[in-house]
Amino acid sequence: MGKWIDSSGTEYKTLKEMCEAHGISVLTVQNRRRNGWTLTEAVEHGLCSGGRKDKVKDHLGNEYSSVASMCKAYGIGRSTFENRIKRGHWTLEKALTTPLLSKLVCNGREYRSRRDMCVKMNISLDTVNQRLKRGMSIEDAVSVPIKKVSKECVDHTGGTFKSLREMAKFYKISCNTIIDRLNKGWDMEKTLTTLPKEISCECTGLNGEAFVSVRKMCEHYGIKRSKFENRTRYGWNTKNALRIPCEFSLRKIPVDYRSMSISYVTCSSNGEPFFKVKCNVCGEEDVLSYDEINEHADKCEGR
Ligand SMILES: [Zn+2]
């Protein structure tokens, strides 16, 4: 018996027993043996610094003062090397000599790109990107289960949803937006009820009401947002752009009324008529209701 003997002369019944005593995996030893290491070297050389021997040998038998200097000699990152050996179970030779295609190494395997890795691991690229942005390591980013998506979610009103996806769908925003906002420290209500693209937009309605967005304001006044924006672009003031119904169209009726020249009138089916007018006194042009025309004329005729 006593087939396995280490440098101190201690005998072991099996290789496994000897490896265990030296705190090294059988696989690593077998890899090293395949690469021409002696049994003693294979079992007793530490993998990283802090191992039993300071000196390490590469697959060709060249000696280095440390793993780090060996890696440097092969132009390979030490963490890449260690990942390859420990997690990918690569041989020493392969771990040292396989060039990096890109910097992306995960669990000892290399990928052309983050996308390539996600496809091969069957995980969403968005999820991985988000996690990396939050400072997770690449290994964690691909291996931590997607808790948030499958866990029951509770909104600000106490309503429960089967998943984040369900809640996001209900509030018509994306899961990523929700996660992003919560990470930014938003509270749940603001997170769920603020629609995208209206975060910094505040609008004032006809009676001074505040709206979080143009869209909300237009909804309130029953006017299409596109219509409102078109009108504004053509120089309408907010008041008219909001209050004059969408089906509004102008009919030419050139007529003078008091101090005002009226050029067009609406033929809206609902609501009061509006007139496009120009004041002959102050030169102001506007779209006004009948009452407003009189008001304006009162003001200007008295001058
Ligand atoms: Zn005037």
| Amino acid at the residue 120 | K
Look at residue 11 in the predicted model and tell me its pLDDT: 86
C-alpha 262 to ligand 1 mean position (Å)? 13
C-alpha 290 to ligand 1 mean position (Å)? 14
C-alpha 241 to ligand 1 mean position (Å)? 20
Which residues contact residue 196 at a Cβ distance below 8 angstroms, ignoring those fewer than 6 apart? 173, 174, 177
The two three-digit tokens of residue 196, written as one number? 């995208």
Model pLDDT for residues 231-276, shown as the tens digit of each residue: 877 777 788 888 877 666 667 777 888 888 988 777 554 566 778 8
C-alpha 291 to ligand 1 mean position (Å)? 14
C-alpha 297 to ligand 1 mean position (Å)? 6
Look at residue 73 in the predicted model and tell me its pLDDT: 87
Q: Are 108 and 85 in contact (CB under 8 A)?
A: yes
Q: Is the dihedral of CA 205, 209, 214, 218 positive or negative?
A: negative
Residue carrying the six token digits 């919560």: 182
Quick one: residue 223, left, alpha or beta (phi over 0 = left, psi -120 to 50 = alpha)?
beta
C-alpha 2 to ligand 1 mean position (Å)? 113
Delimit the domains of the chain by residue range.
4-97, 104-143, 153-195, 200-243, 245-303
C-alpha 296 to ligand 1 mean position (Å)? 6
**pTM score of the predicted model:** 0.30
Look at residue 145 in the predicted model and tell me its pLDDT: 66
Model pLDDT for residues 236-245, shown as the tens digit of each residue: 778 888 887 7
Distances (CA, A) of 113 to 127, 128, 130, 234: 15, 12, 16, 48
C-alpha 273 to ligand 1 mean position (Å)? 20
Model pLDDT for residues 130-139, shown as the tens digit of each residue: 888 877 888 8
Look at residue 279 in the predicted model and tell me its pLDDT: 92
Residue whose C-alpha is closest to residue 218's, from 234, 235, 200, 198: 198
Q: Are 57 and 65 in contact (CB under 8 A)?
A: no
* Angle at which helices 67-74 and 78-86 cross, to 10°: 100
C-alpha 255 to ligand 1 mean position (Å)? 16
Q: In the predicted model, what is the mean pLDDT of the chain? A: 79
Stretch 93-121: mean pLDDT, rounded?
79
